[in-house]
């Protein structure tokens, strides 16, 4: 998992509430053998018509937002199924932070497993970001260490986050990352084992 410290990136406004994981990534994309490549299915029914043609009006299809790194969305983002494909798809597209007034529990948890930062702000703050993101300058700064979001016009908002989760995100620690903190213990164990059970080496 990549550490998340600070992000300066274009923000795409998605002023809809209750965006569920089926909308984030529909079921036909769940048969993949990869976590990679899911960007093609991200918001599929928002981005494409039934014939597979791009809908130019959808925000992520507009040239100004195709490189968006932040999504600003309405209440209860990520509700529905537990599919981890949802954060995978967002990250594969290049989204590294989602800002909303609230998130569904499972999606919120899944974000932290994958280095995607979910940021909860007050409704009026989300609204201001949404409005500013529609303008010409729509670069938002998200600073996890300071727990701040800075709008394109320079207004700074602060957000809350669980300190342990914050620490793991800052260090890029998923379970594997956490375990690798004791890599030296694993090295030592392996060295001892190589001596006591040499028949298991190079098998």
Partner 1 sequence: MRSMPGKTLYDKIWDAHVVDTQDGEAILYIDLHLIHEVTTPQAFAGLRANRRPVRRPDRTLAVADHNVPTEGQALGVDAVADEEARLQLQTLARNVKDYGIEFFPMGDVRNGIVHVVGPEQGRTQPGMTIVCGDSHTSTHGAFGALAQGIGTSEVEHVLATQTLRQKKSKNFRVRIEGEPAPGVGAKDFALAVIGEIGTAGGTGSVIEFAGSAVRALSMEGRMTLCNLTIEGGARAGLVAPDETTFAYLMGRPAAPKGGAWEMALSYWKTFFTDEDAVFDREIVLDAAQIAPTVTWGTSPEDVVAVTGLVPAPESFETPDKRASAVRALDYMGLSAGQPITDAKIDVVFIGSCTNSRIEDLRSAAQIAAKALEGGHRVAEGVRAMVVPGSGLVRAQAEDEGLDEVFKAAGFEWREPGCSMCLGMNPDKLTPGQRCASTSNRNFEGRQGRGGRTHLMSPAMAAAAAIAGHIVDVRDYL
Instruction: Note whether 190 binds partner 1 by CB under 8 A.
Output: yes
Q: Which of 66, 153, 155, 181 binds partner 1 (CB under 8 A)?
A: 181
Report if residue 66 touches partner 1, rule: CB under 8 A: no
Q: Does 156 bind partner 1 (CB under 8 A)?
A: no
Nearer to partner 1, 37 or 123 (CB): 37
**The only residue of 17, 182, 191, 194 in contact with partner 1, by rule CB under 8 A:** 182
Radius of gyration of the chain (CA): 20
Closest distance of CB 56 from partner 1, Å: 31
Which CB atom, from 2 or from 155, has the smaller least distance to partner 1?
Answer: 2
Q: State the binding string over 36-55 for partner 1 (x if CB under 8 A, else -).
A: x-------------------
- Nearest CB to partner 1, comparing residues 16 and 191: 191
The DSSP-derived string for the chain is: -----EEEEEEEEE--S--BHHHHS-GGGTT-S-STTGGGGTTHHHHB-TTS-B-TTSGGGSGGGTT--EEEE-SSBTBS---THHHHHHHHHT--EEEES-B-HHHHHHHHHHTPEEEE--HHHHHHHHHHHTSS--EEEEETTTTEEE-TTS-EEE----HHHHHHHHHT--HHHHHHTTHHHHHHHHHHHHHH-GGGTT-
Residues 95-114 that bind partner 1 (CB under 8 A): 113
At 6, give phi and psi (nearest 5°).
-145, 140
* Cβ at position 183, least distance to partner 1 in Å: 8
Q: Looking only at residues 6 through 35 of this chain, which bind partner 1 when binding is defined by CB under 8 A?
A: 31-35
Residues that bind partner 1 (CB under 8 A): 1-2, 31-36, 113, 175-176, 178-183, 185-186, 189-190, 193, 196-203
């Amino acid at each position: 998992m990549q550490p998340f410290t600070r992000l300066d990136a274009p923000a795409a406004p998605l002023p809809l509430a209750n965006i569920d994981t089926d909308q984030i990534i529909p079921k036909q994309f769940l048969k993949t053998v990869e976590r990679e490549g899911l960007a093609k299915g991200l918001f599929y029914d928002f981005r494409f018509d039934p014939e597979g043609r791009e809908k130019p009006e959808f925000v992520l299809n507009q040239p100004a937002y195709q490189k968006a790194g932040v999504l600003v969305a309405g209440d209860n983002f990520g509700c529905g199924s537990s599919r981890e494909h949802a954060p995978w798809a967002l990250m594969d597209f290049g989204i590294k932070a989602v800002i909303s007034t609230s998130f569904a529990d499972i999606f919120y948890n899944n974000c932290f497993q994958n280095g995607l930062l979910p940021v909860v702000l007050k409704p009026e703050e989300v609204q201001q970001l949404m409005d500013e993101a529609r303008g010409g300058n729509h670069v938002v700064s998200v600073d996890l260490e300071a727990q701040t979001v800075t709008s394109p016009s320079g207004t700074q908002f602060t957000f809350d986050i669980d300190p342990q989760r914050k620490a793991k995100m800052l260090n890029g620690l998923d379970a594997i990352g956490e375990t690798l903190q004791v890599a030296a213990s694993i090295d030592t164990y392996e060295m001892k084992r190589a001596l006591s059970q040499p028949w298991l080496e190079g098998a």
